[in-house]
């Protein structure tokens, strides 16, 4: 017999966009926490700023990935944090030069 596949929940574009904005805000929060945390070690260790930021972003991405299937907000949040992580990697390369 043919079994009916469960319907995929439709994603709301507005909810994904709002999740994206929340992710942008979250990445800024991680950035503002990484700056004083990296400043503790002195100005000779500027490579620590993107490292601390990346650690916070990765933890938030892993937590949000658990909810991606059920929530459109989490999808937008993961997209924004992933883009922030890419920019953080570019920043880390710039600091190493």
- Tell me: the pLDDT tens digits for 11-25? 789 999 999 999 999
pTM score of the predicted model: 0.81
Do the beta carbons of residue 72 and residue 16 sit within 8 Å? yes
Tokens of 11: 């994603």
Token pair for 19: 């999740």
- State how far the Cα of 80 lies from the Cα of 26, in Å rounded to an integer: 9
Distance CA 80, CA 14 (A): 14
pLDDT at 8: 67
d(CA 82, CA 97): 23
Closest by Cα among 28, 7, 14 to 75: 14
The mean pLDDT of the chain is: 86
| Model confidence pLDDT, tens digit, residues 37-67 | 877 877 777 778 888 889 999 999 999 999 9
- Rounded CA-CA distance 7/62 in Å is 26
């Amino acid at each position: 017999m043919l079994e009916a596949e469960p319907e995929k929940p439709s994603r709301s574009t507005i909810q994904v966009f709002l999740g994206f904005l929340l992710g942008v805000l979250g990445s800024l929060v991680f950035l503002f926490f990484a700056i004083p945390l990296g400043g503790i070690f002195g100005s000779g260790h500027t490579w620590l700023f993107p490292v601390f930021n990346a650690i916070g972003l990765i933890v938030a991405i892993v937590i949000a990935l658990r909810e991606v299937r059920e929530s459109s907000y989490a999808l937008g949040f993961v997209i924004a944090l992933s883009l922030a992580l890419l920019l953080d990697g570019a920043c880390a390369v710039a600091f190493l030069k």
